[in-house]
């Protein structure tokens, strides 16, 4: 296990020191570092750091893939190191070190570092084109839900275990106990969303939670708005999201105009009174309509579009992950779970990662004599099977170009299979988010129960693996790349013989790294 403190120190050194770091945040697998001077970052050294699965630069934004668990510890240690470090000017040695490393790096071959560098280049290009207001808004909204994912996974797993025990009729006295454990968090999900929303938009979390708590309060059933009697939970996470954001803006405004001597009393009171009233009088009704529309649209899409809808969704998911736009789906998944008990979109989208696994296994088989490529794939596959696909995307398929396309093809066919089950009336859903591939299996459920959901999801996985494997084996590598990879596999071949493949692939690659 990588030492989190040492890794945090190494990251701090390679990004140009604490004075070059403007912001640090993390999701389930990635550390996001905003730097003041991109030229001071020693990206090759960062990519070569033990424990770093991949590092991608997109302007001033660094995406460092560390994996679940480790990323949380490193983020905490990095923040502690920043707080303890003296202020120093960024640049100088860091920039020269990066330049020197880049000069030497340009001559490297299809080593793990070279593949990661190619992935970083493509990633940076894609991110720079999409890093506008929309992407910033998506990342801000996703930051509200990402901290909730561990609890969603935990409660989802407990609910899955409880469902299996209930169906089998085992230990009847235990199932009510497990039911409370699994449902407690979900029943208060609006509160936590409101807290995180207020925090993310510059407000006090507890005030956002107070507004979010209005949505799930039992007394809501006694309130009539525009002739409609409200129901506890109406509007769900979307209403809490809007209410928490509104509370943050009202609080910030009140702090600017309220004298300090009465701010402690006036600011929170006005914030909860105004934001709560608007949430109760407007946002719950509007968000309720939107939530129902999302659930209806998702169910209709897969129930009627079936295999075709699943094919399109499964094939498009990897490009969404590559650009970070998949984070915009988190509120939709959460809304579906809150409304129906599961999200029918996640099992379909998860097929993209399965197609990529099949593609990488094909590359392993085809170029098994290429020690560098095999080492990269072998190190990233276990994480891929557990639903962490970034190492395979940025370390293997995306840098090589065509394998990214064939992985998408595998995901499309797998998604088509899952969509077909939905069309046949056996919907396949996930009762929690944050998991994928094999790790999603315990979290399955659907309209026909766990067994049908497992059959549909498992069938999709197998098809995605097989199609991704076969498509990559047959036409997943261009002639130039194949020749260079095979040349590197020859006894005594240097590690820099595949650099000639980059111009050829760069010419034939489309804007997402997939061949035209």
Task: Identify the CATH number of the domain in which residue 24 sits.
Answer: 3.30.1360.60
Tell me, what's the pLDDT at 106? 35
The predicted structure's pLDDT at residue 497: 30
Residue that wins the pLDDT comparison between 196 and 147: 196
Same domain, 322 and 280: no
Same domain membership, residue 280 and residue 324: no
Residues 503, 411 share a domain: yes
Residue 141 pLDDT > 60: yes
Same domain membership, residue 326 and residue 273: no
Q: Are 272 and 418 in a shared domain?
A: no
Q: Is residue 131 part of a domain?
A: no
Give pLDDT, residue 499: 33
Share of the chain above pLDDT 90, in %: 34
181 shares a domain with 57: no
> Is the pLDDT at 440 greater than 80, yes or no?
yes
- pLDDT of residue 320 exceeding 50, the answer is yes
Q: Is the pLDDT assigned to residue 148 strictly greater than 70?
A: yes
Asked if residue 335 has pLDDT above 70, the reply is yes
Using DSSP's 3-state secondary structure scheme, residue 506 falls into helix
pLDDT tens profile 69-95? 788 788 888 988 888 766 444 344 443
Burial degree of 501 (CB within 10 A; 0-12, 13-18, 19+): buried
- Give yes or no: residues 369 and 500 share one domain: yes
User: Last residue of a domain, which of 67, 82, 105?
Assistant: 105
Q: Which range among 276-280, 303-307, 418-422, 477-481 shows the weakest confidence by mean pLDDT?
A: 477-481
Q: How many domains does the chain have?
A: 3
In a domain, 516, yes or no: no
Residue 110 lies in a domain: no
Asked whether the beta carbons of 135 and 325 are under 8 A apart, the reply is yes
261, part of any domain: yes
Q: Average pLDDT, stretch 121-136?
A: 56
Catalytic positions are 27
**Domain coverage including residue 99:** 4-105
Asked if 421 and 454 sit in the same domain, the reply is yes
Same domain, 381 and 350: yes
Q: What is the mean pLDDT of residues 252-267?
A: 91
pTM for the full model? Answer: 0.70
Q: Is 480 exposed, middle or buried (0-12, 13-18, 19+ CB in 10 A)?
A: middle
Report if residue 133 sits inside a domain: no
Q: Which of 404, 434, 408 is nearest to 153 (CA)?
A: 434
The CA distance from 140 to 222, in Å, is 34
The answer to which of 14-28, 121-135, 212-226, 460-474 has the lowest mean pLDDT is: 121-135
> Of residues 267 and 87, which shows the higher confidence score?
267
Residue 51 in tokens? 């424990």
Question: How far, in Å, are 150, 179, 348, 432, 500 from residue 157 at the CA level?
Answer: 11, 11, 19, 8, 48
- Region of poorest pLDDT, from 50-54, 109-113, 275-279, 419-423: 109-113
- Structural domain contains residue 177: yes
Mean pLDDT in residue range 105-116: 47
Adjacent-strand bridge partners of 224: 229
Of the two residues 292 and 492, the one the predictor is more confident about is 292
Instruction: Based on the fold, state whether residues 361 and 490 are members of the same structural domain.
Output: yes
Do residue 238 and residue 377 come from a single domain?
Answer: no
Percent above pLDDT 70 for the chain: 82
Same domain, 329 and 270: no
Let me know: does 68 contact 28? Beta carbons within 8 Å. yes
What's the rounded Cα separation, in Å, for the pair 215 and 232? Answer: 6
């Amino acid at each position: 296990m990588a030492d989190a403190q040492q890794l945090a120190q190494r990251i701090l050194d390679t990004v140009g020191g604490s004075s070059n770091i403007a912001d640090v945040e993390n999701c389930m697998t990635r550390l996001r570092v905003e730097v003041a001077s991109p030229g001071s970052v020693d990206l090759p050294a960062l990519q070569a750091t033990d424990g770093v699965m991949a590092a991608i630069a997109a302007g001033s934004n660094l995406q460092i893939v560390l994996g679940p668990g480790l990323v949380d510890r490193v983020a905490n240690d990095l923040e502690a190191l920043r707080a303890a470090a003296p202020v120093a000017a960024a640049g100088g040695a860091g920039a020269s070190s990066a330049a020197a490393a880049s000069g030497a790096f340009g001559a490297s071959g299809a080593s793990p570092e070279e593949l990661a560098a190619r992935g970083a280049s493509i990633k940076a290009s894609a991110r720079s084109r999409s890093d506008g207001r929309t992407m910033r808004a998506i990342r801000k909204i996703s930051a509200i839900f990402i901290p909730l994912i561990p609890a969603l996974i935990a409660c989802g797993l407990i609910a899955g275990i409880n469902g299996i025990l209930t169906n089998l009729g085992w230990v009847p006295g235990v199932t009510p106990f497990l039911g409370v454990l699994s449902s407690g968090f979900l029943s208060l999900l609006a509160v936590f969303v409101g807290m995180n929303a207020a925090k993310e938009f510059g407000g006090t979390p507890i005030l956002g939670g107070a507004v979010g708590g209005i949505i799930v309060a039992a007394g809501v059933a006694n309130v009539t708005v525009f002739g409609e009697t409200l129901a506890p939970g109406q509007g769900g996470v979307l209403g809490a999201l809007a209410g928490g954001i509104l509370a943050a803006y009202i609080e910030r405004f009140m702090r600017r105009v309220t004298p300090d001597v009465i701010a402690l009393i006036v600011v929170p009171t006005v914030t909860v009174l105004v934001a709560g009233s608007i949430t109760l009088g407007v946002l719950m009704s509007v968000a309720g309509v939107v939530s129902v529309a999302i659930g209806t649209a998702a169910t209709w899409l897969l129930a009627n579009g079936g295999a075709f809808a699943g094919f399109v969704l499964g094939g498009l998911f990897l490009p969404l992950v590559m650009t970070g736009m998949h984070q915009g789906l988190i509120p939709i998944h959460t809304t579906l779970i809150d409304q129906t008990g599961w999200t029918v979109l996640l099992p379909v989208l998860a097929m993209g990662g399965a197609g990529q696994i099949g593609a990488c296994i094909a590359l392993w088989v085809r170029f098994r004599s290429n020690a560098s490529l095999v080492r990269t794939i072998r190190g990233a596959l276990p994480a891929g099977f557990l639903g962490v696909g970034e190492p395979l995307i940025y370390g293997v398929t995306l840098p090589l170009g065509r394998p990214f396309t064939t992985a998408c093809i595998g995901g499309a066919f797998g998604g088509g299979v899952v969509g077909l089950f939905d069309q046949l009336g056996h919907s396949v859903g996930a009762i929690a988010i944050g998991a994928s591939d094999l790790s999603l299996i315990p979290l399955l459920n659907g309209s026909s129960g766990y067994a049908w959901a497992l059959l549909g999801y498992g069938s999709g996985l197998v098809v995605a693996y097989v199609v991704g494997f076969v498509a990559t084996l047959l036409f997943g590598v261009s002639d130039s790349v194949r020749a260079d990879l095979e040349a590197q596999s020859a006894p005594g071949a240097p590690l820099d013989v595949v650099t000639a493949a980059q111009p050829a692939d760069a010419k034939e690659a489309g804007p997402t790294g997939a061949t035209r």
